[in-house]
Chains A and B, each alone.
Chain A
Amino acid sequence: MAKQVLLIDRDKAHAEALTLYLHRKLYDAVISTSNEQTLLFLDTHALDIIIAYPFATPETGQYLLAFKKTNPLVQIIITAPKSDLDEAMDLFGLNALDYLELPVNSKALDLALARAGAQTGLLTRMDLYTGRLEDLHYARNLFNQLFEEVPCYISVQDRNLRITAANRRFKRDFGGLVGGFCYEVYKHRSSPCRECPVAATFSDGKSHTTEEIVTSKDGKQYNVLTQTAPIRNGDGEIAQVMEMSTNITQIRQLQDHLVSLGLMLGSMSHGVKGMLTALDGGIYQLEAGLDQKDDKRMNLAFGQIKNMADKIKKMVLEILYYAKSRELQYETIEVAEMTDNVVATLTPLAQKHGIKFLVSIAPDLGTIEVDPQWMEATLINFLENAVDACLFDRNKKNHQVSFTVEKKSRTDICFTIQDNGIGMDAETRNKMFSLFFTSKGSQGTGLGLFIAHRVIKYHGGTVHVDSRPGDGSQFTISIPFQKPENARIMEPPAKDKG
């Protein structure tokens, strides 16, 4: 495409002669002899070169200087009579490419035009490079941002499994040890793992996926899904390997929870079926007693039905507690009121089974800030377990359960529940607060003590267990009188770790 030239001159005849010359040299030239034309051409033409007499009108020089500022690629060649050249040079300085004396020497014009072409080419290339550099800078920033902010762990490793780069999340959880060995930083090991996906990628150049358990700088364990990819150098050789790990701990916890839930449903459905069969048995006995007008049989049957209804109720309530999520509802209540409710519930149960129930409640215990519903249910749960422990024990004739309430310190109250029942071995003691653990076969859900333990923990309290097989058990429960500052929400549990 021909280059566009604007000729500004006061002398139209001279300008036309120059235009003819430019046309012969394959330039596309237009002439302006007035301010109006100059402004129009500057505005509407994609100009490459301007050949101008800067004093064609008083404003020409100013127009051109302003135009050059915003269009640095357009080259200006000044033409002026010798008398004006100095002034033109003072005005334009380096803004003009060349200064030619009028009348214009054609050779000097040819050289100036050639120089303008070369200069424009140079500037155009520079403009292109600058643009590319800006793009590169943008891409680099974008890449950096992606690398740093992507919601997974990224590390780059060399052949010795040394970390050469790591993203922000990796550094946050595993420390900023660029230069450390992957197995040290990620797994706290002193030697490489047996099945290393990074080593595998170095060896076959393929991406590898594994599931790993890694340990953070704080000692927390995470399940991660790891994928590797080779990073090749200019010669196509694998220089480094990128390892990207996604934290799937929550997914694994959820899976564990679902497995536990499945196990619980299985064991509970077995228990429920047994209870329903026993309920059928009670109904049968009642029917038979009515038929035979046998009062004794009817009374026994009624007791059996009531017992089964209670057990089913308890099981259903435990499941409902398990599924429930609510904030602890703290109330300030008299300790005596709470313990009276607990004792009133337990007394008939102990009497029914001929178990001595010893109650000792210190006077003037004052008030306590707890969720009364949860706290009463928790104490009743421990006491019911104490009764069950006595019922399971066939070796002693006389059984007793004691319930002692006293001030442990100025800040804490202490509930002690003691029985002389069957007692627990070390394994049962260790697992007793775990979700779905029960030592009562199909009679238990494995929820009662799990929930009770959580209630105590959420109230900022502790439980101490002392038990030996054959000797019985003692539970010492401490609860602060005042609501703890970090009061918690009772949630349906994931898997209990405590």
Chain B
Amino acid sequence: MKKKILVIDDDLNVSDYLASLFQDKGYQVSVAGNVKEGIKLAKAQHPDLITLDIEMPGEWGPRFYRQLSQEPDLKNIPVIVISGLSGHQYAVVKAVASLSKPFDREELLKIVEEILN
């Protein structure tokens, strides 16, 4: 069965890019443009991995992470932070990885592969 990845980013150009990248590697991808939608999709689909932007207009990535940690069946889903915000690596300390925009494509794919396989 295909592994599922949930991409949360307000920038459509970035989420499209991530979705194509993961789909081309054979993953099943869903995209959320904000925190509320992200929680809804996570609950509905139980993804194997989540990529999370930290700063979105009116949204704050770490809040999503706190909400996720409070759900017993979601709290163990690994989260990769992908953000343009400086200091993002300190925002979600429990993230399995923290990448800066613009990220290195190969590095991201390697991390994803390590986590999912």
A interface list, Cβ under 8 A from B: 266, 269-274, 276-282, 284-285, 288, 304, 307-308, 441-442
Beta-carbon contact of A278 and B13 below 8 Å: yes
The answer to whether the Cβ of B26 comes within 8 Å of any Cβ in the partner chain is no
Select from chain A the residue with minimum beta-carbon distance to B20.
A285
Point out the residue from B16, B20, B56 that lies within 8 Å of A288, measured CB to CB: B20
Chain B: interface residue total (CB-CB under 8 A): 21
Task: Give the distance in Å from the alpha carbon of A441 to the alpha carbon of B10 in the complex.
Answer: 10
Kindly list chain B residues whose C-beta atoms are within 8 Å of the C-beta of A272: 84
Q: Is the interface of B mostly helix, strand, loop or mixed?
A: mixed
Beta-carbon contact of A281 and B10 below 8 Å: no
Kindly list chain A residues whose C-beta atoms are within 8 Å of the C-beta of B14: 274, 277-278, 281
* B16, B21, B102: most-surrounded residue (chain A CB, <10 A): B102
Beta-carbon contact of B11 and A442 below 8 Å: yes
Distance in Å: Cβ of B57 to nearest Cβ of chain A: 4
Beta-carbon contact of A284 and B84 below 8 Å: no
The answer to whether the Cβ of B110 comes within 8 Å of any Cβ in the partner chain is no
Beta-carbon contact of A273 and B17 below 8 Å: no
Beta-carbon contact of B17 and A280 below 8 Å: yes
Point out the residue from B10, B13, B102 that lies within 8 Å of A273, measured CB to CB: B102
Kindly list chain A residues whose C-beta atoms are within 8 Å of the C-beta of B20: 281, 284-285, 288
B interface list, Cβ under 8 A from A: 10-11, 13-14, 16-18, 20-21, 24, 55-57, 84-86, 100-103, 105
Kindly list chain A residues whose C-beta atoms are within 8 Å of the C-beta of B55: 270, 442
Kindly list chain B residues whose C-beta atoms are within 8 Å of the C-beta of A284: 17, 20-21, 105
* B17, B18, B20, B105: most-surrounded residue (chain A CB, <10 A): B17
Kindly list chain A residues whose C-beta atoms are within 8 Å of the C-beta of B100: 273
Task: Give the distance in Å from the alpha carbon of A277 to the alpha carbon of B51 in the complex.
Answer: 14
Task: Give the distance in Å from the alpha carbon of A127 to the alpha carbon of B60 in the complex.
Answer: 86
Given A277-B102, A280-B102, A288-B24, are A269 and B86 neighbors across the interface (CB < 8 Å)?
Answer: yes
Beta-carbon contact of A270 and B85 below 8 Å: yes
Kindly list chain A residues whose C-beta atoms are within 8 Å of the C-beta of B103: 277, 280
Task: Give the distance in Å from the alpha carbon of A281 to the alpha carbon of B101 in the complex.
Answer: 11
Report 18 cross-chain contacts, Cβ distance below 8 Å, ordered by A residue: A266-B86, A269-B84, A270-B85, A271-B84, A273-B100, A274-B13, A276-B102, A277-B84, A278-B17, A280-B102, A280-B103, A281-B13, A282-B13, A284-B20, A285-B17, A288-B24, A441-B56, A442-B55
Kindly list chain A residues whose C-beta atoms are within 8 Å of the C-beta of B86: 266, 269
Kindly list chain A residues whose C-beta atoms are within 8 Å of the C-beta of B21: 281, 284
Task: Give the distance in Å from the alpha carbon of A442 to the alpha carbon of B13 in the complex.
Answer: 12
Given A269-B86, A285-B17, are A277 and B101 neighbors across the interface (CB < 8 Å)?
Answer: yes
* Extra contacts besides A274-B11, A281-B18 (17): CB < 8 Å: A270-B84, A273-B102, A274-B84, A274-B101, A276-B101, A280-B103, A280-B105, A282-B13, A284-B17, A284-B105, A285-B17, A285-B20, A288-B20, A304-B16, A441-B10, A441-B57, A442-B11
